Structure 1
Amino acid sequence: MNDLDVLVVGAGPAGLMLACELGLAGVRASVIEAHPRRLDFCRGFNLNARSLDLLALRGIAEEFLAEGPTVPATTFSGLGRPLDLSTMDTDHRYALGIAQTRVEELLEQRAGELGVPVRRGRRLTGLHQDAGGVTATVRSVGLDESDAAPRPRPAEGADDRLRAGYLVGCDGGRSTVRKLAGIAFPGTTATRYTLLGDVALADPAALPFGPTVTGSGAVFVIPRPGYVRILTAEPEPPADRDAPVTLPYLQETVDRALGRHVRLTEPRWLTRFGDAARQAQRYVEGRILLAGDAAHIHPPAGAVGVNVAIDDAMNLGWKLAATVRGWAPHTLLETYHSERHAAGELLLRNTRAQALLGGRDDGWEPVRELFADLAAQPAGTKYLAELVTGVGTRYPMPALDARPHPWLGRMAPNLRLTDGTATTGLAGMLAGGRAVLLDLADRPELRAAAAPWQPRLAVHTARCAEHPELSAMLVRPDGHVAWIDTAHVPAHGTGASATGGTADPGRALRHALGVWLGEPAHAPDPAV
């Protein structure tokens, strides 16, 4: 018998969000992390609209929003001005300022509440998968003294073996899981590097916040509580990318870019990062899966790494839980690969384009000007904003509808729904992690068609005054619209069907339920 249903390797945003999703579904899961305690420094300092929308589906967005300021704009390299987020179709038309370390702390707390432990000081050193699961060899390194795991605490340096039904690598860009599983990681190597320093300015007035551009280079300064974050291009690729960045080297590089001396002191964290863009060939390899940076690395444009990690985990969590619990269709885990691999390809294209536009090559100036002109148009602003935040993410949905609705495959809007005298939002109906069927036109035949899939499915009958044209909608646990119908709602009082209708909505609904929720839990009523 397996020790666990799922072993998650890596306690970053992807691993911890996945732990929350698995815990919500009642899956026996555990997270192991090589570092004995949470790191004090991080690269990411924001959650974007897509992440906040996803967290809102589980009823926890407000906990994160209480942590920092919101800004109704984001950056798009090369535009020369902030990108307005107010045009997006979302409840969260802003970015939240919050450190990745705090995001991880909040997610770890929730994972613990849901019964998923995080065991630090455990490094994966080997794995082997077979038809029944994965055997992981785990070495204890620098164990966290606060570890109170129910299993016997291994001695430091000792090897332990864990048996899990599935193993998910959420262990970063240099993923041990990916390497041990032999999953290829094609892409482009880094050609440019950026130095990052969390430091203090000896004279806080010597350098303004934001970009300072000179004829010799550029320095970007981000205010942080008690210090500043300095970003500047490294003049030449390092001979050894792992060589430590020292304060004198950062000081020299900053002075050269500014053309003057601005004294840096009190270094907290000094590092470098490159513009490599790579993507795992497979996100699913038998019983081994990848998420977050283990599945893709990209230029840091837009600071989207934490956000894409959360997105991967939300897509994977309910599908993996359904597979563990035995009711998932055999193709369900494969849709994690197909949906998120395609999203990863778009991410790499987007961030590589921004890296080029934000570079110092004058040959790209006409393209920068063209992008700036496009971004000045409302439709262009909306497209770019939804692209960089992921709000525009649309997954292909196998549907029988001849004329698919514009919402199909996108995250459902947080509709305001009325049931009698009570009004609630659609997002709140997804907090339990189950799919939701909305009956918005009192359609007993659709409720009867869906009955065999309960209790995997929550069915709600309500009214939506904002969209009287809607008849019914099926929403996946991750918030994406899997089926929608307007066939029985008169359009402009004529009795005509609106876009998205089907001749046989019950058949189309049963098809969608089978695709995403597997075989019915019990035989359908033959009269339906």
Structure 2
Amino acid sequence: MEQVIIVGAGPTGLWAACELRRAGVPVLLLERRTERSPHSKALTVHPRTIEVLAMRGLEKVFLDEGIKIPTGHFGGLEHRLDFRPLDTSYPFTLFYPQARTEEILQEHAAELGVRIRRGHTVTGLRQDETSVSLEVTGPDGPYAERAEYVVGCDGAGSTVRQAAGIAFPGSDATLFGFLGDVRLDAPPPPGFSRHGAEGAVMIVPLPGGMQRFVGMDPARQDVAGTELTFEEFRGTVIRLTGEDFGMRDPVWLSRFGNATRQAVEYRRGRVLLAGDAAHMHFPTGGVGLNVGVQDAMNLGWKLAAEIQGRAPHGLLDTYHAERHPVGAALLESSLAQTAIISAFSPAGLGLRSLLSRLVAAHPELSLDLAGRLSALDVAYPSADPSAHPLTGARVPDLYLVGDPDVRVYDLLRAGRPLLLDLSGAARAGGGPAGGTSAAVGERARSLGVEFRSGVPAGTPRPGWPTAGAVLIRPDGHVWWAGEEPPDAAPGTAALEALSTLCAPPAPGAA
């Protein structure tokens, strides 16, 4: 019997598999496609996703190959959001095709030992108290697999979700956009976009000399279930822009709708959902891939701890508790942006003009929307009113001055929790010096927790100057923070915090 089977080898499934393998959990990944898709539905990597990659040491190839764009758009408004004031080492969106993202993540998964079977389609499942049984059809015919847990990362039409009986309420598509990847003999200047009473079009350059058109045509909304032909696509572009830019050689033409749905449960027993299998929406702002990877980041360490007997009671249930509200906020934002994008009436155009001017005139509004779009505003606050204000907060990539100096994200590369002593006491070699701190460090290491000390460099951030010790989860959020350093008498607060995050490993656990 497998420990974990992940269904779906898109970015979400691949990242979930990598997180589990990094923790030492064997993973089998089943993918119905025989090859990776050459097309890139997603083109944008947002700041929080770059931070996620940086926590595992994978950000460099994305930064080296991607195009950094210091702005993002909300609902296609003329005035774009400024990402530069965001509190992150990566204050930009990164233009990076999904096909290349999947290639990198698949290579990383293979390096970690993830087993991937392509051309294997899950057709059904059933579960009991101890396992999940899958019905699979592969190149040699149908067969069965069994696992302790199954994670459905198999898209909006998720077989895993349907077979598990998880409801997926919401609305069907009422609006449709179009997409076309073509070559242009007369491409427009970079940043071309049009929005008016006749419709909306945006053109984005792709690697290899291709150009992507994305738009919405209010005159062609009776298209449900029909394929987009090159003749229709070209005619629409001419009608909306007045020219065809010498387009030729289409490689991908597609329609997409604004169907909006969310799974009522991200976990049912031993079945869990992530990415598009848990939430579907109009692709506003290019957030879909990003939220899916962030789902996987939240889930991976929790599921590994559950399997290995290291999880405190109820830890795995916090996956739904934390990520379902994030998905709900995503759907709300997507619906709002869809309304703005599809505003073609005089009243709608007036609303767009007003909102665009407000974004330009009020930097705090731009910053708030940028924080939401980038997911840098996501936090998981404690219900305990006495908890330190940092509890649940996203951890920025702090640079710690200590012995040695180190970046916090570098300390998270192994995917283990991290306990920081921020009191300023020097610890030779980054370890505890003695007394109660030595006991804390020893206990932390016995639970698989990194332990370091140092003083955050740079401009003080809200909440951090009052923290003497901080326990950070593997996904880069604060589990616990206290005003006293770990070695403060009687020195029990940090030890108690460790016990709430990490149970002792079960005997014989992987």
Q: Residue 91 of structure 1 aligns to a residue in which SS?
A: coil
- State the alpha-carbon separation in 2 of the partners of residues 366 and 198 from structure 1: 31
Does 2:468 align with 1:471?
A: yes
Structure 1 contact 218–233 (Cα < 8 Å) conserved: yes
**Deviation of the 1:446 alpha carbon:** 5.4
**Structure 2 residue aligned with 1:267:** 250
Does 2:423 align with 1:432?
A: no
Change in Cα spacing, 1:521 to 1:38, as seen in structure 2 (3 Å) is closer
**Structure 2 residue aligned with 1:363:** 347
Change in Cα spacing, 1:504 to 1:298, as seen in structure 2 (3 Å) is farther
Superposed CA deviations along residues 280-327 of structure 1, whole A, max 9, x for unmatched, are 110001000100000001111101111111100000000010011112
Q: Residue 333 of structure 2 aligns to a residue in which SS?
A: helix
**Deviation of the 1:252 alpha carbon:** 2.3
Superposed CA deviations along residues 21-54 of structure 1, whole A, max 9, x for unmatched, are 0110110101111110011101111211000011
- State the alpha-carbon separation in 2 of the partners of residues 229 and 286 from structure 1: 42
- State the alpha-carbon separation in 2 of the partners of residues 39 and 200 from structure 1: 19
Q: Residue 137 of structure 1 aligns to a residue in which SS?
A: strand
- State the alpha-carbon separation in 1 of the partners of residues 8 and 339 from structure 2: 31
Residue among 436, 461, 469 paired with 2:453: 461
CA RMSD across the alignment: 2.5
Does 2:495 align with 1:513?
A: no
- State the alpha-carbon separation in 2 of the partners of residues 507 and 208 from structure 1: 58
Does 2:117 align with 1:119?
A: yes
Structure 1 contact 440–462 (Cα < 8 Å) conserved: yes
**Structure 2 residue aligned with 1:376:** 361
- State the alpha-carbon separation in 2 of the partners of residues 331 and 17 from structure 1: 23
The letter for the 1-side match of 2:290 is N
Q: Residue 302 of structure 1 aligns to a residue in which SS?
A: helix
Structure 2 contact 436–489 (Cα < 8 Å) conserved: no
- State the alpha-carbon separation in 2 of the partners of residues 216 and 508 from structure 1: 63
Structure 1 contact 138–160 (Cα < 8 Å) conserved: yes
**Structure 2 residue aligned with 1:305:** 288
The letter for the 1-side match of 2:16 is L
**Deviation of the 1:271 alpha carbon:** 0.6
Does 2:129 align with 1:131?
A: yes
The letter for the 1-side match of 2:454 is A
Q: How many residue pairs were aligned?
A: 487
Mapping of residues 344-363 of structure 1, within 5 Å: 344-359=327-342, 360-363=344-347
Q: Residue 200 of structure 2 aligns to a residue in which SS?
A: strand
Structure 1 contact 79–372 (Cα < 8 Å) conserved: no
Structure 1 contact 6–167 (Cα < 8 Å) conserved: yes
The letter for the 2-side match of 1:380 is L
Superposed CA deviations along residues 420-452 of structure 1, whole A, max 9, x for unmatched, are 3x3110111111111000112248535535644
Q: Residue 161 of structure 2 aligns to a residue in which SS?
A: helix
**Structure 2 residue aligned with 1:30:** 28
Residue among 254, 261, 264 paired with 2:237: 254
Mapping of residues 257-336 of structure 1, within 5 Å: 257-259=240-242, 263-336=246-319
TM-score by length of 1: 0.86
Q: Residue 432 of structure 1 aligns to a residue in which SS?
A: coil
**Structure 2 residue aligned with 1:148:** none
Q: Residue 264 of structure 2 aligns to a residue in which SS?
A: coil
**Deviation of the 1:215 alpha carbon:** 4.5
Q: Residue 253 of structure 2 aligns to a residue in which SS?
A: strand
**Structure 1 residue aligned with 2:176:** 193
- State the alpha-carbon separation in 1 of the partners of residues 163 and 17 from structure 2: 22
Which stretch of structure 1 is more off in the superposition, 451-460 or 307-316?
A: 451-460
- State the alpha-carbon separation in 2 of the partners of residues 96 and 78 from structure 1: 17
- State the alpha-carbon separation in 2 of the partners of residues 264 and 276 from structure 1: 30
Mapping of residues 333-344 of structure 1, within 5 Å: 333-344=316-327
- State the alpha-carbon separation in 1 of the partners of residues 190 and 443 from structure 2: 63
Structure 2 contact 400–408 (Cα < 8 Å) conserved: yes
Mapping of residues 406-445 of structure 1, within 5 Å: 407-420=390-403, 422-441=404-423, 442=425, 444-445=435-436
Structure 1 contact 417–464 (Cα < 8 Å) conserved: yes
Q: Residue 302 of structure 2 aligns to a residue in which SS?
A: helix
Residue among 93, 99, 102 paired with 1:101: 99
Does 2:381 align with 1:396?
A: yes
Structure 1 contact 472–486 (Cα < 8 Å) conserved: yes
- State the alpha-carbon separation in 1 of the partners of residues 489 and 121 from structure 2: 54
- State the alpha-carbon separation in 1 of the partners of residues 45 and 311 from structure 2: 31
**Deviation of the 1:221 alpha carbon:** 1.1
**Deviation of the 1:371 alpha carbon:** 6.0
**Deviation of the 1:109 alpha carbon:** 0.7
**Deviation of the 1:173 alpha carbon:** 0.9
- State the alpha-carbon separation in 2 of the partners of residues 91 and 20 from structure 1: 24
- State the alpha-carbon separation in 2 of the partners of residues 18 and 378 from structure 1: 36
- State the alpha-carbon separation in 2 of the partners of residues 521 and 122 from structure 1: 34
Residue among 215, 218, 225 paired with 1:232: 215
The letter for the 2-side match of 1:179 is Q
Change in Cα spacing, 1:367 to 1:451, as seen in structure 2 (3 Å) is farther
Can you give the 5+ residue segments of structure 1 that lack an aligned partner in the other structure? Answer: 142-154, 490-502, 523-528
Q: Residue 456 of structure 2 aligns to a residue in which SS?
A: coil
Can you give the 5+ residue segments of structure 2 that lack an aligned partner in the other structure? Answer: 426-431
